[in-house]
Amino acid sequence: MKAYVFPGQGAQFVGMGKDLYDHSPIARQLFERSNEMLGFSITDLMFSGTDEDLKQTRVTQPAIFLYSVILTRVMGSQFAPEMVAGHSLGEFSALVAAGALSFEDGLTLVAKRAQAMQHACEQEPSTMAAILGLDDAVVERACSEIPEIVVPANYNSPGQIVISGSVKGIEIAVEKLTALGAKRALVLKVGGAFHSPLMEPARAELENAMDATAFSQPVCPIYQNYTALPSVDPAQIIANLKKQLTSPVKWTQSVQHMLKDGAAEFYEVGPGSVLQGLIRKIDRNVKAESANIGV
């Protein structure tokens, strides 16, 4: 079975999507529509901005979403998913690609999500750290023993987990996990503690927007971050999506469930190749490659 996966924040690069814009009338139309909806020229920032421009959450999230979703539209009948999943922001790309959300509703929710997360980051200094070379259970236990907000945020692959929390909590956790034998414990250059309780203000803000949005049954199961399990029921999809911002991204578990359910080929739709690398770490024998096509 063919599984299509969609990357999240951090996969962006200057120039992404310009080939689609230049050579595909469908892409050009969708990009121009997006500029109108967002109220600023995201294409200028994507195609010829700076790295700093693209690192702004309000730009990064819609930019990656647009590149991923528009690529599926350009692929046309070549895009034939039997299951989909997205990493954090990528879950919204996956939902639109699988027909659970319209393009316009997806972009609107992503833009609101980015703004809500930015607001939450400004309320309390917070950050994240990548922990390599420890069992998940060791990281979970260490985080639970720290008298600060520190939680697992991304289960990326066996031995690779990202933690999220207050600045002080992350400092304590990095020191503690290094002492426990982590190969690396690296504080990340991010705006805040994504996928942690510190995103509660953003979750509440986004929940209202989701309640006002029409969701449909997708053309194939979507393996959601919150449960790592397949969903096709719109009500269940919304319920899981509402919990995504304050809960960990269960990427390792999602891929494992997809493999168990018959996934034989994984195609990453969007900028970069991060997810392909993670999938190969989860199963070194599986086919994982980019879905990019010549246009």
Q: Which amino acids are annotated catalytic?
A: 88, 195
Burial of 30 (0-12, 13-18, 19+ CB in 10 A): buried
Q: Which helix (H) or strand (E) holds 274?
A: helix 274-282
280 DSSP β-pair partners: none
Provide the 3-class DSSP secondary structure of residue 248: coil
Judge contact between 148 and 219, C-beta under 8 A. Answer: no
Provide the 3-class DSSP secondary structure of residue 195: coil
| Contacts for 96 with CB less than 8 Å, ≥ 6 apart | 65, 69, 102, 103, 106
Residue 173 half-sphere exposure toward CB, CA atoms < 13 A: 35
Residue 244 has phi, psi (to 5 degrees) of -65, -45
Length of the chain: 295
